[in-house]
């Protein structure tokens, strides 16, 4: 997903054919070992403001190609990142990435409804795939994507950046290790005030509202903090249909999850209020993160034996984005597995479908395993 | 309810008859105006540690009689509060309070399942009633209690102490006044680790588990922070039935509420983890209370325009308990209405029944108005 700003429709549809004459890549900063070459697919806000600037901190990852429907963006970012015209693509000629051996992998940062198509096309072009979350807009699409990458013998990883962020990693370790006793309850809240006129408010592009965007952070956190899959979901939606932002997608959709161990989670997903927190409450205290999944400025407090302490970590060696990129690159280079493969995106999507069904039908819904 | 400690069964059943010879009350501390005389019904932990010590800060309320099934407690607290033997009662001779003109009102601090009976008997004895929350263990009981007090022409007030606590009052004012924009979401969490072998874990006495005890704080907060009645509830229970504490009552029961204005609330109720907080999230920020409803040490933080500030109030003139007692006393003295009458307890109970039904039947439940 693209948390900030908007990818315009113009950015993702249409596009102009470009010359594809082969040309050698410009020299990149010298680093030991081979770097995996990425084609950035979609030059919206999240790609250009977060992902691309973070390649500079990568050991094993570099930008080698750009894909956009907007020629001016290719010009701008091609110049900024030293990507020659020969390595520019649009959505019409995308499949020609097959013929470019500099491209090892693609990073798909498009509106949600385009994830499946471009993942499948990238796999068929013989490329590994990093795909933003939510992985797609349905369980069926996720399964198609996984099958396509498996058939092509290519890796598929979903952009769950928080799994490469040190406070979240520590929270996972502490929660699963029973640092505050066995986990009893997790509360997770994510939301922001969505400005009008963005692709995220347009169901054909987004596949849904806040849950398919910021709300997935609440859901995913409950899963990574427990290491379990929820067995049952109940949800409640509150959307002001007179608000033009919500003509096609939901605003607030809160949900309760029950996990096999008995952990109970309460989750907030909102397009009308700001939230970024989770708390793991065990029998002996809690692990509190607020903000929990920001770009920077994570804050962890632990309550144990009646004392609340702030837990501060030294600066990380890599940003969460550099860590995420290098994780896939190392998996490609070493033939190892990624920790957030397509199956992880699929697992979230199964719960998301259950949440929507629960809210729509007014009943508890079992999550399909 | 009695948050700390336990009233034993011995305290609430059986009991020994006591002499009821009339005697004049000892002189109490001189204060201006008449003080309403209360009979304390039930001398458990909450009564003896919280309620009774707080009469000292009251302007219009005094302890004039004690009701207990434990003679030693009558001796102990009779001596401590200067209540003579003539003003001691047990559950067998309770109805004789009718003949004691010093008693204007009773304060019922018994296990939940006894609230209805003793409220009705007190009203029939011509006394006003303060009754602890939850008001009773069913909507039907609440309706019977309201009818009995109405028929007797006596006031009925429920012990919602937070309504007489200044941080909660400020939170209500700020939330309803739109200080952080119109409220979008309320999160409310209450819980504690319930020790075994207490009346609160015995359904015939408690009527239910965490929701009938600490969880009502989460529910009631969403109602007083909005000033609205929820229209629909979904709930999810998680109880380890192999834990002997939970042979007859629920452990965790979380619930989502939807209000007419669109406000969505997520609520935690737990007997296995410690929680005491709520947060009102509007379009422009939040009002955060943690702890929200403690005996003391309330803490309020407000986030607005991106800035988080701690809001500290000067010490209150009266404790929440003294404020609560004097509120009923003033209503009796002046013939005014109380802000938390039986109808307020009934409204909570309607939602509680809906929550239990939702969790049991696995479906959304409309709240009966």
Q: How is residue B362 annotated by DSSP? A: T
User: How many interface pairs between A and B have CB atoms less than 8 angstroms apart?
Assistant: 122
Residues 6+ apart with CB under 8 A from A328: A36, A61, A105, A128, A130, A155, A157, A338
Window 103-142 of A, Cβ < 8 Å to B: none
The domain defined by A166-315+342-366 folds into Dihydrodipicolinate Reductase; domain 2 (3.30.360)
- Any chain A CB within 8 A of the CB of B248? no
Q: pLDDT tens across B310-354, in order? A: 999 999 999 999 999 999 999 999 999 999 999 999 999 999 999
Catalytic residues of B: 133, 217
Which residues in B152-182 are b (16+ Cβ under 10 Å) and which e? bebbbbbbbbbbbbbbbbbbbebbeeebbbe
- Any chain A CB within 8 A of the CB of B278? no
pLDDT for B32: 58
Q: pLDDT tens across B220-245, in order? A: 999 999 999 999 999 999 999 999 99
Low-confidence ranges of chain A (pLDDT < 50): 1-31
Closest CB from B254, B257, B281 relative to A275: B281
Chain B residues in contact with A268 (beta carbon < 8 A): 185, 187, 266
Q: Which CATH class is domain B9-159?
A: alpha beta
8 Å CB contact between B188 and B265? yes
Q: Dihedral of CA B139/B140/B142/B147: which sign?
A: positive
Tokens (6 digits) for B70: 């434990």
Closest CB from A191, A257, A364 relative to B362: A364
- Any chain B CB within 8 A of the CB of A317? no
- Any chain B CB within 8 A of the CB of A153? no
CATH no., domain A9-161: 3.40.50.720
Whether the predicted pLDDT of B14 surpasses 90:
no
Cα distance between residue B32 and residue B277, in whole Å: 38
- Determine whether the interchain pair B193/A235 forms a contact, defined as Cβ–Cβ distance below 8 Å: no
Cα distance between residue A66 and residue A50, in whole Å: 15
Rounded (10°) angle between helices B215-226 and B342-361: 120
Identify the residue among A246, A250, A268 best suited for mutation to test binding to B, counting B beta carbons within 10 A and taking the highest: A268
Q: Is A360 helix (H, G, I), strand (E, B) or coil?
A: helix
Question: DSSP states of A215-249 as a string?
Answer: HHHHHHHHHHHHTS--SEEEEEEE--TTSGGGSSS
Secondary structure element (H or E) that encloses residue A331, with its range: helix A320-334
Q: pLDDT tens across A4-23, in order? A: 333 333 333 333 333 333 33
Closest CB from B189, B193, B256 relative to A256: B256
In this structure, of A231-240, B16-25, B189-198, B278-287, the range with the lowest mean pLDDT score is: B16-25
pLDDT for B33: 76
Q: pLDDT tens across A171-198, in order? A: 999 999 999 999 999 999 999 999 999 9
Minimal Cα distance from B357: which residue of A? A363
- Any chain B CB within 8 A of the CB of A231? no
| Nearest-5° Cα angle at B217, A188 to B340 | 145
Cα distance between residue A78 and residue B204, in whole Å: 74
- Any chain A CB within 8 A of the CB of B187? yes
Chain A residues in contact with B362 (beta carbon < 8 A): 234, 363-364
Closest CB from B193, B236, B268 relative to A187: B268
Q: pLDDT tens across B330-339, in order? A: 999 999 999 9
Chain B residues in contact with A262 (beta carbon < 8 A): 238-240
Chain B residues in contact with A286 (beta carbon < 8 A): 273-274
Average pLDDT, chain B: 92
- Any chain B CB within 8 A of the CB of A357? no
Closest CB from B255, B270, B282 relative to A185: B270
8 Å CB contact between A114 and A12? yes
Chain B residues in contact with A362 (beta carbon < 8 A): 232, 234, 363-364
Active-site annotation holds for A217: yes
8 Å CB contact between A150 and A346? no
Q: How is residue B181 annotated by DSSP? A: B
Cα distance between residue B40 and residue B89, in whole Å: 10
- Any chain A CB within 8 A of the CB of B232? yes
**ipTM value of the model?**
0.89
Whether the predicted pLDDT of B88 surpasses 60:
yes
Judge residue A281's burial from the number of C-beta atoms within 10 Å of its C-beta, 0-12 exposed, 13-18 middle, 19 or more buried. buried
**Domain ranges in chain A?**
9-161, 166-315+342-366
Whether the predicted pLDDT of B292 surpasses 50:
yes
Active-site choice (A127, A133, A154, A155) = A133
Whether the predicted pLDDT of B368 surpasses 90:
no
Q: pLDDT tens across A102-157, in order? A: 999 999 999 999 999 999 999 999 999 999 999 999 999 999 999 999 999 999 99
Residues 6+ apart with CB under 8 A from A142: A116, A135, A136, A342, A345, A346, A349
């Amino acid at each position: 997903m693209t948390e900030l700003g908007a990818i315009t429709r113009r950015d993702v549809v249409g596009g102009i054919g470009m010359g594809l004459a082969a040309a050698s890549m410009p020299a990149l900063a010298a680093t030991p070992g081979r770097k995996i070459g990425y084609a950035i697919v979609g030059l919206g806000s999240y790609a250009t403001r977060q992902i691309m600037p973070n390649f500079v901190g990568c050991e094993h990852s570099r930008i080698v190609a750009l894909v956009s429907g907007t020629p001016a963006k290719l010009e701008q970012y091609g110049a900024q990142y030293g990507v020659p015209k020969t390595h520019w693509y649009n959505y019409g000629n995308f499949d020609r990435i097959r013929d470019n051996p500099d491209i090892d992998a693609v990073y798909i940062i498009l509106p949600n409804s385009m994830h499946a198509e471009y993942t499948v096309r990238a796999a068929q072009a013989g490329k590994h795939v990093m795909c933003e979350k939510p992985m797609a807009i349905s369980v069926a699409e996720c399964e198609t994507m996984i099958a396509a990458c498996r058939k092509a013998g290519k890796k598929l990883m979903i952009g769950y950046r928080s799994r490469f962020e040190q406070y979240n990693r520590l929270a996972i370790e502490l929660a699963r290790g029973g640092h505050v006793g066995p986990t009893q309850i997790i509360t997770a809240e994510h939301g922001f005030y969505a400005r009008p006129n963005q692709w995220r408010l347009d169901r054909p592009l987004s596949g849904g509202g806040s849950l398919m965007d910021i709300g997935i952070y609440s859901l995913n956190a409950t899963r990574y903090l427990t290491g379990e899959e929820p067995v049952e979901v109940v949800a409640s939606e509150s959307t002001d249909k007179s608000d033009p932002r919500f003509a096609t997608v939901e605003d607030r959709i809160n949900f309760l999850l029950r996990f096999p161990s008995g952990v109970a989670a309460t989750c907030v997903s909102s397009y009308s209020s700001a939230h970024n927190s989770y708390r793991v409450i065990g029998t002996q205290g809690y692990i509190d993160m607020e903000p929990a999944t920001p770009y920077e400025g994570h804050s962890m407090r632990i309550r144990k034996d009646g004392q609340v302490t702030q837990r501060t970590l030294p600066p990380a060696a890599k940003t969460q984005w550099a860590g995420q990129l290098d994780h896939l690159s190392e998996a490609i280079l070493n033939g190892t597995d990624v920790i957030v493969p397509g199956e992880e995106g699929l697992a979230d999507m199964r719960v998301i479908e259950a949440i929507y069904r629960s809210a729509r039908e007014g009943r508890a819904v079992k999550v399909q395993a």
